[in-house]
Amino acid sequence: MTYSQGYNQRSMRYQVDEVLSGMLASLPVDSFSDDHDALGETFKGLAAEFPLFAPFAALADGADYSQALGDAFGKLIENGRLAHEPGRYVLTEAGRRSCISNKRSLFSNADMAQLEAASGKFAERQAVPSGETPV
């Protein structure tokens, strides 16, 4: 979490990768599509519905969400929470534990409720069953 005065991408309550990690903690599946256009549309919808996802809209400036998502996914891959396989991202076992721990320590109960609701909507739109590669 970062705090500063004025409006810029670092003045948001949570960093984009923190919000994404919090959502992944509640994801009912272990993998999801890596189709960045579809992911962008999904996060555009989540940003419109859940205030906690507003950083995605702010970073995308109302346009393409793929850069903000790509950066956030990259951070989660770097720290071992996600793995990138052909056609999908996979939430690792250790990654899920880390996401759950971070969710509990970073977010309020109201924020957690948003993350859990968003993870259900995200799974409906993006989930890939284990062992399958999206077409």
The confidence score (pLDDT) of residue 70 equals: 81
DSSP secondary structure string for all residues of 36-49: HHHHHHHHHHHHHH
The confidence score (pLDDT) of residue 116 equals: 95
- Which sign, positive or negative, has the C-alpha torsion 57, 61, 64, 65? negative
Does domain 14-126 bear CATH number 2.60.40? no
The confidence score (pLDDT) of residue 68 equals: 72
The residue ranking higher by pLDDT, 9 or 66, is 66
pTM of this prediction? 0.78
Residue spans of the domains in the chain: they are: 14-126
Q: What is the mean pLDDT of residues 38-43?
A: 85
Q: What is the mean pLDDT of residues 88-95?
A: 94
- Three-state SS for 31? strand
Q: Are 64 and 73 in contact (CB under 8 A)?
A: no
CA distance 84 to 34: 8
Mean pLDDT score across all residues of the chain:
80
The residue ranking higher by pLDDT, 118 or 48, is 118
